[in-house]
Structure 1
Amino acid sequence: MVMVTDGHAQNMVAQQRPVTTSASAEAAVSLETLSVTGQSSHDDPRGPIDGYVARRAATATKTNTPLNETPQSITVIGRKQLDDLRPHTVSDAIAYTAGVYSTHGPATVGDFFSIRGFDATGTGVYKDGLQLLGYSFSGFQGENFGLERIDVLRGPAAVLFGQGGPGGIINLITKRPTEVPFGHVEAGGGSFGQKYLAFDLGGPSSTDPHWFYRVTGLGRQGGTQVDGVDDNRGYIAPAITYKPDGATSFTLLAGFQYDDTGRLSPFLPYYGTVRPQALGLRIPRSYNIADPKLDTFRRTQFHVGYEFEHAFNDTFTFRQNLRYSQVESLDTLLFSGQGYSDARQTIIPRARYRLTSQARLFNVDNQLVARFNDGFFAHTFLVGLDYKQYQLHDTQAGSGPATSFDILAPRYGVPAPPVFPYLVNRDAFQQIGLYAQDQIDLTDRLKLVVGGRGDFTTNDVDDKLRATRTRQEANVATQRYALIYNFDHGLAPYLSYSTFFNPQVGTNFGGTPFKPVTGDQYEAGLKYQPPDNRFSATFALFDLTQSNTLTADPTNPFNQLQIGETRSKGFETQIVANINRELSLVGSFTAFDIAITRGLDSQIGKIPVATPSTLTSVFADYTIATGSFAGFGVGAGLRYVGNSYADAFNTLKVPEYVLFDSAIHYARDGWRFALNVSNMADRRYVGSCSSISSCNYGEERRFTASVGYRW
């Protein structure tokens, strides 16, 4: 069988701090631009931000660069925005971000999303600047409560990070130790019987002023909108920082997470969800098309690593980021992605699957930064060497036909047919990358960014069933050139060109390794961020081309083809504002034209499935700052998703939809009470379809009530 290599692989058999709340929110340990004099950056690109508007980020350049001097489209989601929205998953957290779309609706087993029309699930998720690869059914998943911020970088990032898709990356930045002691406990609950308890504690050591700590944890239990599917999680993340002097810092970051859940009926037919079926009926959103007794998804994941930094002097700084990650999962289900078997469209055939996987991932990234003036220009020169090793033990087993599901008379507890393995693979992927980047101040206003990278990769697939071994080697060079000009008052136009590559882990149905996906992007944009830092806006035009594109084989649902070329051209804007002490706002608009430009004759000119071409969102929060009602706030949001297609030939359309979100909260004397509601009107909608027999309902109305205390 095929070894699947990206987020769409799940279609085989499964979907896969506010300024006033705590002194600790202002005191995250800086790990950037340390000097021998003990001075540190005022705005840590991995620490808290003031309200909604960030000033700086390191994701786009791996250096502490102001956003208005970064010639690429990037959005930073800070802790205050996360607290105001209370998103359940990372996919929910990025819902108000330009260019990003959650491709599978609500999902408890992972986050599935595309950026600028290209899938980014498997290779686009990073944690603290190091990649979290996710192939086949072995993906990692982040926990929002453990995050300080989320950086969403749009466009290719291969010149600094190596392997990756064209759309961009999402960098999950975890909470770090603080220099000021603090504590936070929180409890809540809501729809589907959900309840949770969380804590966040940190500060300096009581015995040694050079040591700092933080421990974050969460326990969650309850159901989902689908009958019989739970959503239970345990999460804990300790962190320790050692700063012997002002020039050196070492931070140990660890995390453990256990999930016990299932799949939210992700393989529903088009007729019966998007459109009525033959009898004029639609399948209820609460129906479990699998079987509660057979539908199980259990995942254990952990991470341990460190971030080390040492400033030799005011010119040279060395950093090393290292992490080992592991994820194990067991996934059993009755797969229903086959449509109907009768003319009345009431009987859905099923088959049983058992999927087990274990993935190990080791990352290390060494960086040397030199800040100097050559007599003509000022430079921030970065050179780096990184190494990545990924190993996957992937076993997939299936049965013949199992008991069918009758949508008029659901029956559970059916006999479970035996399963037989159809894929037993041991995969190994290695990448060594050498990269360099120079940020050159040509004048006080004009800045040039030049970068290049060489990657050397190997992909070994050991097929235990066929007793065959294959190896793919890919040595690829990538590059980036960009200019940005800073006018007075915060206006900054920019131009950029970048290339990317993405070597694919795995083989097609016939056992042949996939070729690397390659391509390039042209981007022109305009940024605006006044010196008072209350407002930030990015407007971007982009033209992306991806070659060797992977797509579903129309003649074999278990296979993928590299059909040729896909092109995405569009416009996006992101606005984030702290309008005053009381009002904060985030809004986005995305419109792009994406189509297959080379490949199968029947698909040329067609739009890929599950890819809406228009996205709009806006969320505003108003909190009274003074007077008798100080601390009381309300928030409201709107999300619009345009039409998409359910089939490769663009004959079946998934309609557009609009969702409304709201929030009410009150904070006083360290206490915070909140009620958040997503999809307020309880709009019944289909989030996307990847085929005529694989559609996903969007999430029902969700209430979340919470109470927290900080000290």
Structure 2
Amino acid sequence: MMAATSCKTLLRLALLTGVCLPVSALAQTPTELESIEVQGVFDDGQGPFEGYAAEASVSATKGGRPIIETPQAVSVVGADFISDTAARTVTEATRYSPGIRSETFGNDARNDWFLLRGFTSQVSSYFVDGLALKSSDSFATWKMNPYLLERIDVLRGPSSSLYGSSNPGGLINMVTKRPTGEIGGEITTGINEHGRGNFGIDAQGVAGRSGDWAWRFVASGNAGDTEYDFIDDDGFAIMPSLIWTPSEDTTLELYANVQAFSTNGQNFLPYVGTEVDAPFGRIDPETFTSEPGYDAFKRTQAMAGYEFEHRFNDRVTVRQNLRYAHLDIDFTNVYGVGYATGSPTATNADLARFNFITTPQLGLFSVDNQAEFLAETGPLSHTLLFGVDYARFDLDDEAGFDFAPSLDLLNPVYSGITAPTTRYSDQSTVQRQLGLYVQDQIEYGNWDLVLSGRSDFVDTDIDNNIGADSSQSSEALSGRAGLMYGFDNGISPYVSVSRSFLPVIGTDSVSGAAFDPETGIQYEAGVKYQPAFLGGGYIGLSVFDLTRENVVTSDGINFNRQIGAVNSQGFELEAAGQITPDLKFVGSYTWYDLTIEEGNPVEIGNVPTAAPEQFASLWLDYTVPQGALEGVSVGGGVRYVGRSYADTANTLEVGDTVLVDAALRYEKDAFAAALNVSNLFDETYVAGCSSPTACFYGEGREVGLTLSYRW
């Protein structure tokens, strides 16, 4: 078994050595060396990798541990797959991953929406480069342009033992592109059938007389229409980064990025008229239910930080990861809340609407300090990790609400709207979290044991300008234990147990007591297999039983009761790799039984809304190796999304659907062209319903052409 090492430092050293060979060394008498075979790019768990199957991930243990030796379910989406499928969002990039249901609100350009093992995860489980981008429930949410990303790690199951407060379903860690020591880059440009254009540039090189500096500059932009009336999708992203390697033992990475997004709100539509026929038929998916010229969603976000690593010797390494991020949102929206008359007729399809405005501002400071020690105690090899992290979350949030005129869905006439003047929320929230954690990765022969434990202290202060101020403190212990055995034939079974916690702000509406942290506990068993015939790929199966407790819900009489519990149990199957040198693939199947166990008596035993209990996908990509069609690649995928419910009583069912994607590419020397089609057969379907009055159409057919040049 491979012990965790400072892979990043070794890689930097290898790159630096290649750049800095003196001329005199090149002029010496050549010596015949034993030939070696280089197979692909070395995967350190956070850098680039070739194909669809990553070898390692930094997210599960905060070290570059091989996935096949990690006793927890983790999947990785790499830059190759993002490019081959022309994914425009992180949501689209994870369409083919197991255990994660993306696009729960359809084609919503505002945010990335996820369910991990059945639980909403974008607020507390959205990570970039190992640090949380914590959001709020008040639309203060982050979004990352996938062109900036090297890989997306999807860690399934509780992760609080290393990362602190997070959703029990898991987390998504997006790893940004950083300098690799290479010299080169690419320029891309494209357009889709709706006239939405895009461009991208990714360039990098080395600097300094000794080559100890490496730089990278990544930028992307898009502008144009969408398939929906009056909804645009504009944005840009800029990300420079710099790495200094003064010695083989020390690296300092500096980075920053600025992103801006401008789009519109999502259409909230009734269940009757979307999933099932209304007396007038179905609502046109392109119908805009807000107000042109008024509705707008604008996000500006920026972040800057550094990652420092120093290796004292072969056994001791320290790291610090520090970042400050800031977010501004301006959102004005008119959204539907059901039919104005309760039930539509053949001639009356008036949609009742609310008028909403919010302008949150969010600042987030994060720092993670780590010390890693390698040791042996008799026959046992240890990789010990000690860490202290701190985060401060500052949110200023003001929101207003008013009624809006109804809208005839059969013949929309927009009346003009002004912003609400009545505020229902105006407050500032400061949350400080301090975490202490320890982890021991123990190896004994073919056995791997991972033990993690963490203690968190969270203080929250709310300055309410229209209500009572409040303060709240929470403490929690979380842990994880995982055991794996690696057989010589590549089969590695494992078992694990892990806990999570998430602070909850508020008080019980009956007792008046402050809420306890939400907790989760999971039991998982699985097997990972790395057969030789998949070219470095793997097959994984995980079975889990996950319970989320202390959920704030209603008892049927009073709101805000902390009496809820939801159980998710099921299994996930995934495979990725190369069937032949020219045929890549990734596939998955997810099934789970999601049940409300405690809470409102009429909901107990039912399934939460918008949570399909099974979904599957398969993507194949073939490149013609030689002959007249050399350079041509053909890709195709199938996605299945199972049924879900539009109400907690489980009387309104949202049907299942099958979607097909396709890709055609041609590469010649430094030039490439690609044609991608999402939802090839233009299937009209409802992606999900959070309630009977809030249903969302899925994305229709989208055809896009991309041209690129590499040097």
TM-score by length of 1: 0.92
Matches within 5 A, 1:222-241: 222-241=224-243
Gaps of 5+ in 2: 1-5, 19-40
- Correspondences of 1:375-394 after superposition (within 5 Å): 375-394=378-397
State the one-letter code of the partner of 2:455.
G
The residue that corresponds to 1:433 in the other structure is 435
Greater CA drift, 340-349 or 646-655? 340-349
Asked if 1:604 corresponds to 2:607, the answer is: no
SS in 2 for 1:81: helix
Residue 121 of structure 2 is aligned to residue 120 of structure 1: yes
Amino acid of the residue matched to residue 416 of structure 1?
T
Same amino acid, percent of matched pairs: 38
State the partner residue of 1:4.
none
2:458 maps to which residue? Answer: 457
Shift of the 290–61 alpha-carbon distance from structure 1 to 2, 3 Å rule, reads same
- For residues 153 and 407 of structure 1, the distance between their equivalents in structure 2, rounded to whole angstroms, comes to 42
Map Cα deviations across residues 387-407 of structure 1 (whole Å, 9 max, x no partner). 0110110111012x2211001
Displacement of 1:459 after TM fit?
Answer: 1.5
Alignment deviations for residues 634-675 of structure 1 (CA, whole Å, 9 cap, x no partner): 001000010100001111000001100000001111111000
Structure 2 partner of 1:22: none
Q: Distance in 2 between matches of 1:333 and 1:274?
A: 24
Matching of residue 581 in structure 1 with residue 558 in structure 2:
no
Post-superposition offset of 1:486: 0.3
In the TM superposition, 1:525-544 aligns within 5 A as: 525-530=526-531, 533-544=535-546
Residue 16 (structure 1) aligns with: none
The reply on whether 1:365 has 2:371 as its aligned counterpart is: no
State the 1:97 CA deviation.
Answer: 0.4
Q: How far has the Cα of 1:629 moved from its partner?
A: 1.9
* Equivalent residue letter for 1:109: R
Q: Which residue of 2 aligns with 1:220?
A: 222
In 2 relative to 1, CA 397–489 (structure 1 residues): closer, same or farther, beyond 3 Å?
same
Moved more, 166-175 or 455-464: 455-464
Residue-by-residue CA offset, 1:535-570 (whole Å, 9 max, x unaligned): 2111000000110124579789xx765342111110
Aligned to 2:249: 247
Q: CA deviation at 1:372?
A: 1.7
Change (3 A) 1:317 1:236: same
* Deviation at residue 352 of structure 1 after TM alignment: 1.4
Q: Per the alignment, in what secondary structure is the counterpart of residue 84 of structure 2?
A: helix
Distance in 2, matches of 1:417 and 1:313, equals 61
Report the more deviating stretch, 223-232 or 528-537.
528-537
SS class of match (2:359): strand
Partners of 1:490 and 1:427 lie apart in 2 by 50
Residue 292 (structure 1) aligned with residue 269 (structure 2): no
Provide the residue aligned with 1:157 in structure 2. Answer: 159
CA distance in 2, matches of 1:113, 1:264: 16
* Of 409-418 and 573-582, the range deviating more from structure 2: 409-418
Which residue matches 2:502? 502
TM-score between the two structures when normalised by the length of structure 2: 0.92
Residues 1:74 and 2:68 are matched in the alignment? no
Query: C-alpha distance in 2, partners of 1:545/1:32?
Result: 39
Deviation at 1:77, TM superposition (A): 0.9
Q: Which residue number corresponds to residue 29 of structure 2?
A: none
Q: 1:97 to 1:555 in 2, by over 3 A?
A: farther
CA distance in 2, matches of 1:484, 1:55: 17
Which residue is 1:319 aligned to?
Answer: 319
Return 623-632 or 476-485, whichever deviates more: 623-632
Instruction: Report the equivalent of 2:340.
Output: 340
Give the drift of 1:534.
2.8
Residues 1:609 and 1:137: Cα distance change in structure 2 (over 3 Å): same
Rounded Cα–Cα distance in structure 2 between residues aligned with 1:686 and 1:551? 26
Residue 565 (structure 2) pairs with residue 569 (structure 1): no
1:606/1:306 Cα in 2 relative to 1: closer, same or farther (>3 Å)? same
Listed one character per residue, the Cα deviations across residues 268-288 of structure 1 (whole Å, up to 9, x for unaligned) are: 1111111111x2411111100
Change (3 A) 1:563 1:696: farther
Match of 2:655 in 1: 655
For residues 509 and 212 of structure 1, do their structure 2 counterparts lie closer, same or farther at Cα, with a shift above 3 Å needed? Answer: farther
2:232–2:264 Cα contact (<8 Å) kept: yes
SS of 2:68 mapped into structure 1: helix
Please tell me whether the aligned partners of residues 256 and 304 of structure 2 are also in contact (alpha carbons under 8 angstroms): yes
Tell me if 1:31 matches 2:8: yes
- Alpha carbons of structure 1 residues 417 and 376: separation in structure 2 relative to 1, 3 Å: closer
Q: Which structure would you say has the larger RCO, counting Cα contacts within 8 Å and 6 or more residues apart?
A: 1
Indicate the SS of the match to 1:336.
strand
Q: Per the alignment, in what secondary structure is the counterpart of residue 381 of structure 1?
A: strand
Per the TM alignment, residue 253 of structure 1 is displaced from its structure 2 partner at its CA by 1.6
Structure 2 residue 351 is matched with structure 1 residue 374:
no
**Counterparts of 2:407 and 2:78 in 1: how far apart (Å)?**
44
Secondary structure at the residue paired with 2:495?
Answer: strand
**Counterpart residue type for residue 276 of structure 2:** R
- 1: CA distance, partners of 2:133 / 2:362: 11
* CA displacement at 1:338 relative to structure 2: 3.6
Letter in 1 for 2:164: G
Report Cα offsets for 1:355-390 as digits up to 9, x if no partner: 110000111001111112122311111110000110
Amino acid at match of 2:247: D
Matched position secondary structure for 2:43: coil
Residue in 2 that maps onto 1:57: 57
**Larger C-alpha radius of gyration, 1 or 2?**
2
1:428 offset after TM fit, Å? 1.1
Gapped runs of 5+ residues in structure 1?
A: 1-28
Matches of 1:168 and 1:339 in 2, distance apart?
A: 37
Q: Deviations over 1:20-45 (max 9, x none)?
A: xxxxxxxxx96356799999994221
